[in-house]
Amino acid sequence: MTRRSDVEHGIVDEESVLEQIAALLEGGVEVGRWPDPLRASLALALEDASMSRTEGWTAVVLRRHLFGPRDVVPAAFAASPGSTAVDHQRAERLRSGLAACVGYRAGAYLLAG
Q: Can you give the pLDDT at residue 2?
A: 80
Domain that holds residue 8: 4-112
> Does residue 25 have a pLDDT over 90?
yes
* Averaged confidence pLDDT in the chain: 91
Q: What's the mean pLDDT in 57-77? A: 90
pTM of the model: 0.91
According to DSSP, residue 2 is labeled -
Q: For the chain, how many structural domains are there in total?
A: 1
What 3-state DSSP class applies to 61? helix
> Does residue 11 have a pLDDT over 80?
yes
Q: Can you give the pLDDT at residue 85?
A: 87
